Amino acid sequence: MSSQTGGYYLPAPSYWPIVGSIGLWFMALGAVLMMNDGGKAAIATLSVGSIIIVYMMFGWFGTVIGESESGKYNSQVDISYRWAMSWFIFSEVMFFACFFGALFYMRVLSVPWLAEGDTQALLWPGFENTWPVAGPYFSEKFTPMGAWGIPALNTFLLLSSGVTVTWAHWALKKEKRAQLVWGLFATVVLGITFLGFQVYEYIHAYGDLNLTLKQGAYGATFYMLTGFHGFHVTIGTIMLIVILIRSMRGHFTAKNHFAFEGVSWYWHFVDVVWLGLFVVVYWM
Amino acid sequence: MKVPYISKILATCLLLAVPCLSMAAWNINFQPGNTLLADDIQQLHLIVMIVCVVIFVGVFGFMFYAIFKHRKSVGHKASNFHENTTVEIIWTVIPFFILAGLAWPATETLLAMRDTSSPDMTIKATGYQWMWGYEYLDEGIQFYSALSTPQGQIDGTEPKTENYLLEVDNPVVVPVGKRIRVLTTASDVLHAWYVPALAVKQDAVPGFIRDTWFKAEETGVFRGQCAELCGKQHGFMPIVVHVVSQEDYDAWVAEQKQKISGKELGAPIKLVADSQ
Amino acid sequence: MEAAHAHDDGHDHVPSGLMRYVTTTNHKDIGSMYLWFSFAMFLVGGVMALTIRAELFQPGLQLVRPEFFNTMTTLHGLIMVFGAIMPAFVGFANWQIPMMIGAPDMAFPRMNNWSFWLLPPAASLLVLSLFVPGGGPGAGWTLYAPLTVQQGMGMDLTIFAIHILGMSSIMGSINIVTTILNMRAPGMTLMKMPLFVWTWLITAYLLIAVMPVLAGAVTMTLTDRHFGTNFFNAAGGGDPVMFQHIFWFFGHPEVYIIAIPAFGVVSQILPAFSRKPLFGYASMVYATASIAILSFLVWAHHMYTVGMPVEAQLYYMFATMLIAVPTGVKVFNWVATMWKGSMTFETPMLFAIGFLFLFTLGGFTGLVLAVVPVDVQLHDTYYVVAHFHYVMVAGALYAAFGGVYFWLPKWIGKMYDERLGKIHFWLSIIFFNIAFFPQHFLGLAGMPRRIPDYSLQFADFNMVSTIGAFGFGMAQIFFLYILLKAIRSGEPAPAKPWDGADTLEWTHLPSPAPYHSFEDPPQIR
Ligand code: HEA
Ligand code: HEA
Ligand code: CUA
Ligand SMILES: [Cu+2]
């Protein structure tokens, strides 16, 4: 069996996938129970599942990092990772596209339809085509989220974080460790600040603006889009933290740092999604 | 070689099956239409079918010819050609034009079908789980229309009668030869208002009004069914339309007005997700 | 293109027994698991189909309650599509792609394992849904809102099962795309790849594009059910029809996800038994790509009766009809491949011809449905059921049968019994047509789909159809017997049992193929 450095790395049999599958099974079941008043059993099942998943992530990623650091990956493996990450991000784009599509559909099609012709006359008399709107049935008042407060600030934060991560990347390419670590650190701080603001914004929306998930078309799309985005920022931040720790431990070289790049692509992707959100959810 | 034998037997079976299939009990085509549009649609279907059958016979004529002549067991040697730009272009372009030829009549029929303007009267049909509610918007008549087949027939404890599952307590009554516009909506989930002989099928979407129309050519009773899965009794919410002469219709209207005027139908939309 | 020498850690400590399969990172083990899983799911889905057919044997309610009937229809559709057909072709991809492009294994062997091992948990959630309060999902495999919102806990299980299936498909597809783009042997340019590999490249792209959209759709269903959102509720400004748009944006490409790998398999089999190269290789590639691209643009042909604006109906009608052009190119190329060949008719060839004949028939009924005024009569009737069983059973499933017979010698190193294989083919094709051909007539006469009971005018053809379905089911049990017989006592297979086969797995590898296909990549021409 050739083990020369030119070889494509084929991993040994591994337990991590089956651990992950079992974890997901418990998580799914737990979530279903939660939503159907499963009480303590639901919480227990969900927790077991989550713990297994976290354990699996540590184990699996740990293994991969170990393999990478011990030099088992050649440049062809590196290319594989690049393809895979690109296609993964493409799948994420499609996921968000689905929710953006829902927003457009409601704004451009279904809300106007409800406010015109026979539909309006016979079913929803008096309903008018406006946006933001909770729909023809809900009369509770809510205040939509303005664009130029926290959202604008958050746009600025995320855009800056895109800059800092690129700054860190330049540093890595020139093997400037300190700048790399500082750049990543700044990115993480910006990410966490963003999330903090987002949490604050949600509390404000629920408490003061009466803007909830149940507020029809606007509420649903607002929370689904910003919520999934926030979730992705969280994941991105965790990944950045991992990269930061690895950088501090001296991982990565100027030539060999796919993990770093993968995370930064992901971060830029999250950034771009936010710009879309800022324009169509908050601003327009 | 066994294969050709088997295919000969098969072919014989198929040939024998044809007269069998054309017997009346084995209806293999649309229900006879009772509107001009239904006739148009059947005509259109026929055209598409003819085109398909011709191409099908052509393509598989070639294939079966090859299967019988270009087989190893009759000593045919394989040629080695594997492309021919001219043929490839031809068989890309010709289907394109055939399709364009089909799209033309289809477009005409579609435009006629979707033109719901200037109706003589308008009926609103609301799908409920599991029956239909009708409102004659001009006359102010409202009533529910539910399956009237006895449960015993369904469970098999009584013999099934002729209109098993296609009979209702209160049929829709319309005059012959008039343009009837049907508005559909639903109060809970999707349903669809489908009467084959009148060539209408329109989904009923809760919270929205959709419309369709028909103009019956002859009097008679026409039966259809809900055509969108709507839960456990989806198979049990038929539609029955009585097409009658104008006089009979007027008499019916008069009768209805004193019988069930003032009765209201249920809520136009029941909010499924409202309970949480 | 860099050479893919294999460096393998897995040599010293391979777990044995069941654990070998649980932990395996080998594409062949994983491919076999996919194939067996898919066959098991086919039987489960098949038993559900037989429950449907048995209930429909006669008018009246005999065997099951209507709500259970709906659950059977729903789970039959979901299990056949996501559990039987898709995994079957992923199984083929796993076995064949590395061998056909001269790679040591898939690009990400560990993730490959996970893609497979996500399927059993997902399937178990689906089956579990039958036993929870409120019963299994009964809204059809299309999961139309707002009926889904009304359903019990079984619907939540279904939704999460779909999420997990989606993860599996996306990871599997990323793996396949990466393998094809990055692991080809030197000299194997894209336009030299066997067509099967091409079809999978395109399919994987489709999967990565649309599975997330399905995930989004069912997620919205979930929040509408439990968190008070109003995506599919007019009262809140949403629209039940929006669900259909999102679902079919996934759903139409999905039907090509099912069909395109089948095209690939047939494109390997026909040249091999015609002893003649595939006609029009390049146009095959372009046609497949065009089908994939067009498939994103035609989704609303499933929604002609929802009341779209007439302009939209016209557009979708034209776009849908257009798909007949590239599909026609493929059909013509296949016939031209057979033309002036030197054909023999072993079982794989028979199934490929069966595919060609009946898939095209199903394609033509698709064309009939594409014509809006006609579809308005036929939508949601058994005509549609007949259409899609022709393209999915006689199409995709037959191609899969053909592929199994074709590659079995390479996989297990033994031959199946040719005589029994032919009997399987003839039983399948005869009973298939008895089961599904009459459904066209039922649909034309106006029998709605998804009903447990029907009026008397439909009785005769339903009875015929049920008899055919049971016969077809029997034939598949016979298939299982043929497989087991081949595995236990088949004749040893030569490295290249088929004269005309010319791809790498036949020309460069013994039968059975070694555990690691190409540790050192072959040089291509
Ligand atoms: C493998 C899966 C598969 C494939 C390949 C297809 C292929 C096609 N399908 Fe089908 N379809 C389904 C699976 C598939 N379908 C399923 C599962 C459903 C129902 C879902 C549900 O509601 O549950 C469905 C439903 C469905 C509908 C909706 C029906 C309804 O609910 O009202 C329509 C309507 O347009 C349609 C059209 C087509 C067309 C035009 C093609 C074309 O791609 C066919 C093209 C092929 C040919 C035309 C034959 C070969 C061509 C030639 C020989 C060239 C010359 C021909 C001419 C010039 C005409 N399909
Ligand atoms: C590729 C996918 C696929 C496959 C392979 C099949 C295979 C079959 N399907 Fe179908 N089917 C769908 C996909 C598929 N189906 C979809 C998507 C729907 C729509 C669902 C919906 O409306 O939501 C549907 C719906 C559907 C209906 C309409 C239901 C309704 O509207 O209520 C029917 C009815 O006849 C049917 C029948 C069959 C039959 C008889 C087979 C046969 O080919 C099955 C043969 C296999 C076996 C029978 C198993 C093997 C045998 C045994 C395990 C032993 C037991 C055998 C005996 C005792 C004889 N299917
Ligand atoms: Cu109402 Cu189906
Ligand atoms: Cu489609």
Q: Which residue spans within B14-145 are E strands per DSSP? A: 121-128, 131-136, 141-145
**Average pLDDT of C501-518?**
90
Which pLDDT belongs to residue B15?
46
Residue corresponding to tokens 């069941």: C18
**Average pLDDT of B165-193?**
95
B269 confidence band (pLDDT: 50, 70, 90) = low
**Average pLDDT of A217-228?**
95
Query: Which of C252, C372, C375, C367 has the alpha carbon at shortest distance from B95?
Result: C367
Measured in angstroms, the CA of C490 and the nearest CA of chain B are apart by 22
B268 confidence band (pLDDT: 50, 70, 90) = low
Measured in angstroms, the CA of A229 and the nearest CA of chain B are apart by 25
Which pLDDT belongs to residue B259?
76
Which pLDDT belongs to residue A74?
87
β-strand partners of C96: none
Which pLDDT belongs to residue B140?
87
Domains of chain B, each with CATH number or no CATH: 30-66+85-115 (1.10.287.90), 121-261 (2.60.40.420)
Is a pLDDT exceeding 70 seen at residue C14? Answer: no
Q: Which atom of ligand 3 is nearest to the CA of B229?
A: 2
**Catalytic annotation, pick one of C34, C198, C248, C256:** C256
Answer yes or no: is the C-beta of C485 below 6 A from any ligand 2 atom.
no
C-alpha to C-alpha distance for B161 and B148, rounded to whole angstroms? 12
**Catalytic annotation, pick one of C184, C225, C301, C414:** C301
**Average pLDDT of C30-49?**
97
Residue C76 annotated in active site = yes
Answer yes or no: is the C-beta of C362 below 6 A from any ligand 2 atom.
no
Is a pLDDT exceeding 80 seen at residue A29? Answer: yes
Q: How far apart are the first and last CA of chain C?
A: 15
Over residues C410-454, the pLDDT tens digits come to: 999 999 999 999 999 999 999 999 999 999 999 999 999 999 999
**Average pLDDT of B147-158?**
94
C-alpha to C-alpha distance for C411 and C116, rounded to whole angstroms? 19
Is a pLDDT exceeding 60 seen at residue C224? Answer: yes
Provide the CATH topology of domain A1-72. Answer: Helix Hairpins (1.10.287)
**Average pLDDT of A134-151?**
86
Over residues C51-82, the pLDDT tens digits come to: 999 999 999 999 999 999 999 999 999 999 99
Q: List the domain boundaries for chain C.
A: 18-507
Residue of C nearest to B154 (CA): C60
* Average pLDDT value for chain B: 87
Which pLDDT belongs to residue C10?
45
- At C7 the three-state DSSP class reads strand
CB contact under 8 A, C208 and A91: yes
Over residues A58-69, the pLDDT tens digits come to: 999 999 999 988
Which stretch of DSSP H or E encloses residue B236? none
Whether C60 contacts C121, CB under 8 Å = no
Q: List the domain boundaries for chain A.
A: 1-72, 74-283
- The size of chain A, in residues, is 284
**Average pLDDT of A65-89?**
92
Over residues C470-490, the pLDDT tens digits come to: 999 999 999 999 999 999 999
A4 confidence band (pLDDT: 50, 70, 90) = very low
C260 confidence band (pLDDT: 50, 70, 90) = very high
Answer yes or no: is the C-beta of C327 below 6 A from any ligand 1 atom.
yes
C-alpha to C-alpha distance for C405 and C407, rounded to whole angstroms? 6
Which pLDDT belongs to residue A140?
78
Residue C379 annotated in active site = no
Ligand 2 center to B67 CA (angstroms): 31
User: Domain A74-283 is classified in which CATH homologous superfamily?
Assistant: Cytochrome c oxidase, subunit III, four-helix bundle (1.20.120.80)
C240 and A CB contact within 8 Å: no
DSSP class of residue B169 equals S
Q: Which residue spans within B205-244 are E strands per DSSP? A: 210-214, 220-226, 238-244
B251 and C CB contact within 8 Å: no
Is a pLDDT exceeding 80 seen at residue A5? Answer: no
* Average pLDDT value for chain A: 92
Answer yes or no: is the C-beta of C374 below 6 A from any ligand 1 atom.
no
C-alpha to C-alpha distance for A23 and A27, rounded to whole angstroms? 6
CB contact under 8 A, A122 and B185: yes
Answer yes or no: is the C-beta of C333 below 6 A from any ligand 1 atom.
no
CB contact under 8 A, B83 and C279: yes
C513 confidence band (pLDDT: 50, 70, 90) = very high
Which pLDDT belongs to residue B10?
45
Over residues C318-328, the pLDDT tens digits come to: 999 999 999 99
Which pLDDT belongs to residue A144?
85
Whether B206 contacts B134, CB under 8 Å = no
β-strand partners of B194: B201, B225
Ligand 1 center to A163 CA (angstroms): 49
Residues 6+ apart with CB under 8 A from B25: C460
CB contact under 8 A, A137 and C209: no
β-strand partners of B193: B202, B226
Ligand 1 center to C395 CA (angstroms): 11
Which pLDDT belongs to residue A39?
87
Residue of C nearest to A8 (CA): C6
Whether C223 contacts C231, CB under 8 Å = yes
Which pLDDT belongs to residue C524?
79
Burial bucket for residue B29 (CB in 10 Å: 0-12, 13-18, 19+): exposed
Rg (CA), chain C: 23
What number of other Cβ atoms are within 10 A of residue B72's Cβ?
17
pTM (two decimals): 0.94
* Average pLDDT value for chain C: 94
Is a pLDDT exceeding 50 seen at residue C2? Answer: no
A19 confidence band (pLDDT: 50, 70, 90) = very high
Ligand 4 center to C436 CA (angstroms): 19
B135 and C CB contact within 8 Å: no
Whether A17 contacts C113, CB under 8 Å = yes
Residue nearest to atom 1 of ligand 3 (CA): B191
C245 and A CB contact within 8 Å: yes
- At B133 the three-state DSSP class reads strand
Q: Which atom of ligand 1 is nearest to the CA of C392?
A: 1
Residue corresponding to tokens 């009708």: B134
CATH architecture for segment(s) C18-507:
Up-down Bundle (1.20)
Rg (CA), chain B: 26
Measured in angstroms, the CA of C151 and the nearest CA of chain B are apart by 9
Q: List the single best residue of C37, C112, C114 to mutate versus A (max A Cβ within 10 A).
A: C114
Range name among B80-84, C93-97, C399-403 with the lowest pLDDT average: B80-84
**Catalytic annotation, pick one of C141, C334, C382, C411:** C141
Instruction: Out of A18, A109, A135, name the one closest to residue C236 (CB).
Output: A135
Residue C254 annotated in active site = yes
**Average pLDDT of B224-240?**
96
For chain A, list the contacting chains (3+ Cβ pairs, <8 Å): B, C
β-strand partners of B195: B200
β-strand partners of B122: B181
Query: Which of A121, C24, C337, C156 has the alpha carbon at shortest distance from B70?
Result: C337
Ligand 4 center to C80 CA (angstroms): 17
Is a pLDDT exceeding 50 seen at residue B22? Answer: no
Whether C155 contacts C254, CB under 8 Å = no
C519 confidence band (pLDDT: 50, 70, 90) = confident
C-alpha to C-alpha distance for A166 and B70, rounded to whole angstroms? 65
Answer yes or no: is the C-beta of C208 below 6 A from any ligand 1 atom.
no
